[in-house]
Structure 1
Amino acid sequence: MAPPPGPYSGTSTLALVARVSAFSVGVVYGAIKLKYVKAKAKSQQKAHAKAHH
């Protein structure tokens, strides 16, 4: 299935830049979210351990 001709055909520089930018934002967002989730889990484990001692 060939993409329709135009600025977003996938071969234009604009489309390529947009795709790379979106990918980069996704990677950065994912990394930040993962750090946050890990930190939250760690603090919950600490709180849980404190409650049992």
Structure 2
Amino acid sequence: MAPPPPGVYSGSSTLALVARVSAFSFGLVYGNMKLKFLRANAKSHKKAEAKGHH
């Protein structure tokens, strides 16, 4: 990654660090939820398909 520009967003301030960490964890949680949702969706779709073939 490119180094952050000098000035307000130097990355050394605690606020910037906290903001970055919380954004990162939000991304992780959101990604996990999306994955679970998509997996559950795919599962129910396969079940419905299997029922239709019999």
Q: Provide the TM-score with structure 1 as the length reference.
A: 0.90
Q: CA RMSD in A?
A: 1.2
For 2:10, the aligned partner's letter is S
Change (3 A) 1:2 1:26: closer
Equivalent residue for 1:12? 13
Q: Displaced runs of 4+ in structure 1, greater than 4 A?
A: none
Matched residue count: 52
Distance 1:11 1:19 in 2: 11
Q: Provide the TM-score with structure 2 as the length reference.
A: 0.88
Alignment gaps of 5+ in structure 2: none
Identity %: 67
Change (3 A) 1:10 1:50: same
Alignment gaps of 5+ in structure 1: none
